[in-house]
Amino acid sequence: MEAMGAQAMRRHNAALVMELIARDAPVSRVELAQRTGLTKATVSSLVTELTGAELVRDLGPEPGRVPGRPAGRLVLDPYGPVALGLQFGAGHIAGVILDLSGRPLARQIRRFDVAGAGAEEGVRAARPVLRRLFDEATTAGRLVAGVGVAIGGTVRSGLVSALPLGWREVDARALVAGELRALDLHGLDVVVAGEVACAALAEYQAGAARDWLYLGGEEVIGLAPLDPAVTLAGDLGHVPVRRRGDACPCGGRGCLDLYAGRAAMASAAGVADPGTARLLGGAEPLAERARRGDPAAVRALDRAGEALAEALVSVRALLDPETIVLGGRLAAFGADFRRRVVERLAPGLTVRASKLGPDAALRGAAGHVIARVIADPLTWIEG
Ligand SMILES: [Zn+2]
């Protein structure tokens, strides 16, 4: 019993130390002891174990520091294990390799009609993307900690429903695991999440505050808390904003997505749906047209802003957030668009722009894998 207790305590303390290094790096052993309340001996022993497993790296004392007792600076090991992120959009499959601190090391993108292919064929089309990413990781001598998957939809009880992809209650985790087996990759962790939840995690890992709310998405419009401990995935795109609005493919009427969704806005402004192009270049053609004063683009943005403000009235009534981070495609419409949305609302809500670009969901997919390693480093070491 006693031994079990000590083991569980060590596991807990290792997670505590790892989380502090992730958040505060670079940080010294003395600072870790102060911030965790653990003894210096315990911290040192845990750090030795974490550096031995290449999860943490000691950069040594700060260069140019006055001699005395120079403290080593600890960071998450940039040469340690990596996480793979995979994203399924309606017209593409994207992949990324991230190191433990969230830095992208390699990217892959494949244009593919995922929406037209059906779930099984769509996931099978990810095989060359996965193969190339694994080849890159292996060539660089990296261990892969797992694969995170972002999908433009929602995940309930492990099953994915994604209107833009035409997926209904798909066991995407099993399908991706099948692709990994086909590549002779066994025993890897696969995590599947909606693209908005992934983007929110990426935003949090990039430093956003825990009590903010994230509103974004590329394929969909969704709401997610920035606190990774809270699981809530709001399908905001299908909140009705017009009582007598048009019929929506979801079965509802007057949904936000019919006014502020990607396809709806592109069609209202008479431009091509940017789809994959935005992931590649980050540009939002509609925003560019509106800046040049194109009347159809300005009208489409106005209509979307009005509908978004309408949806935010309900969000505030339910969740009462002080700050919302606007991300994804909606953030690409710029500060003017944000200001016009806020102006339609009662005072007291701050809407700020995301720090991340169109690859936020892709990064957050891999971020889920990193978050698991950080939350339980000893299990990773023992595995
Ligand atoms: Zn709908």
Please give all residues whose CB falls under 5 A of ion ligand 1, grouped by chain where several chains appear.
238, 248, 250, 252, 255
Predicted confidence pLDDT, tens digits, the chain (383 residues): 455 688 899 999 999 999 999 989 999 999 999 999 999 999 999 999 999 999 999 998 877 766 666 678 999 999 999 999 999 999 999 999 999 999 999 999 999 999 999 999 999 999 999 999 999 999 999 999 999 999 998 898 889 999 999 999 999 999 999 999 999 998 899 999 999 999 999 999 888 888 899 999 888 999 999 887 777 767 899 999 998 999 999 999 999 999 999 999 999 999 888 777 777 777 788 888 999 999 999 999 999 999 999 999 999 998 899 999 999 999 999 999 999 999 999 999 999 999 898 899 999 999 999 999 999 999 999 98
Q: Are residues 118 and 245 in the same domain?
A: no
pLDDT at 280: 73
Strands 323-326 and 350-353, by their bridges, are parallel
Say how far apart CA 199 and CA 158 lie, in whole Å.
Answer: 19
Domain ranges, residue 139 = 82-198+361-382
104 Cα–ligand 1 center, Å = 34
Å from CA of 178 to ligand 1 middle? 32
What's the gap in Å between 163 CA and the centre of ligand 1? 9
Look at residue 348 and tell me if it is in a domain. yes
Domain edge (last residue) among 21, 54, 76: 76
22/16 Cα distance (integer angstroms): 10
Is residue 17 within 8 Å of residue 39, measured between CB atoms?
A: no
- Indicate which CATH number applies to the domain containing 326: 3.30.420.40
User: CB–CB of 264/275 below 8 Å?
Assistant: no
144 within domain boundaries: yes
User: Which residue type occupies 344?
Assistant: R
Contact 326, 351 (CB under 8 A): yes
Distance 249 CA to ligand 1 centre (A): 6
- DSSP, collapsed to helix, strand or coil, labels residue 147 as strand
Separation of alpha carbons 79 and 88, rounded Å: 28
Q: Looking at the structure, do residues 223 and 283 belong to the same domain, yes or no?
A: yes
On whether residue 203 sits in a domain, the answer given is: no
Structure tokens given for 363:
């990064």
Residues 270 and 174 in one domain: no
The total number of structural domains in the chain stands at 3
Q: Are residues 371 and 269 in the same domain?
A: no
Residue 262 Cα to ligand 1 midpoint, Å, equals 13
Task: Label residue 66 exposed, middle or buried (CB < 10 Å: 0-12, 13-18, 19+).
Answer: exposed
CA of 261 to the centre of ligand 1 (A): 10
Write the Ramachandran bin of 68: left for phi over 0, alpha for psi from -120 to 50, otherwise beta: left
3-state SS assignment for residue 354 = coil
Do 146 and 61 share a structural domain?
Answer: no
Is residue 279 situated within a structural domain?
Answer: yes
Specify the residue for token string 């911030």: 35
Separation of alpha carbons 141 and 22, rounded Å = 22
Q: What confidence score (pLDDT) does residue 383 get?
A: 83
Distance from C-alpha of 55 to C-alpha of 50, rounded to nearest angstrom: 5
Peptide bond into 26 cis (omega under 30): yes
Write out the two tokens for 70. Answer: 């120079």
Q: Are residues 69 and 87 in the same domain?
A: no
In the prediction, which pLDDT does 140 show? 93
Give the Å distance between the CA of 378 and the centre of ligand 1.
44
- Ranges of H-type helices in 239-359: 257-260, 262-269, 276-281, 285-291, 295-319, 328-331, 334-343
Is the C-alpha dihedral spanning 207, 213, 215, 217 positive or negative? positive
294, 279 contact by CB (below 8 A) = no
Question: Residue 110: what pLDDT?
Answer: 95
Distance 310 CA to ligand 1 centre (A): 15
Residue keyed to tokens 């031995």: 52
Same domain, 71 and 87: no
DSSP 64: T
Ligand 1 centre to CA of 340 (Å) is 24
Quick one: three-class SS letters along 80-142? CCEEEEEEECCCEEEEEEECCCCCEEEEEEEECCHHHHCHHHHHHCCHHHHHHHHHHHHHCCC
CA distance 26 to 73: 5
CA of 247 to the centre of ligand 1 (A): 8
Residue 251 domain-assigned?
Answer: yes
Let me know whether 345 and 219 are in one domain.
yes
Strands ordered across the beta sheet of 104-111: 104-111, 92-98, 82-88, 144-151, 190-194
| Same domain as 319, residue 265 | yes
Within this chain, do residues 158 and 238 fall inside the same structural domain, yes or no?
A: no
For residue 246, report the distance from its CA to the centre of ligand 1, in Å.
9
Q: Are 87 and 149 contacting, i.e. CB atoms less than 8 angstroms apart?
A: yes
Taking the centre of ligand 1 as the mean of its atom positions, its distance from the CA of residue 254, in whole angstroms, is 7
Determine the distance separating the centroid of ligand 1 and the alpha carbon of 315, expressed in angstroms. 17
Backbone angles phi, psi at 202, to 5 degrees: -60, -40
**Residue 26, domain CATH:** 1.10.10.10
Q: Which amino acid is at 16?
A: L
The conformation of residue 65, written as its DSSP 8-state character, comes to: P
Q: What CA–CA distance (Å, rounded) separates 292 from 294?
A: 6
Residues 178 and 270 in one domain: no
Q: Same domain, yes or no, for 346 and 375?
A: no
Residue whose C-alpha is closest to residue 365's, from 230, 201, 129: 201
pLDDT at position 323 is 95
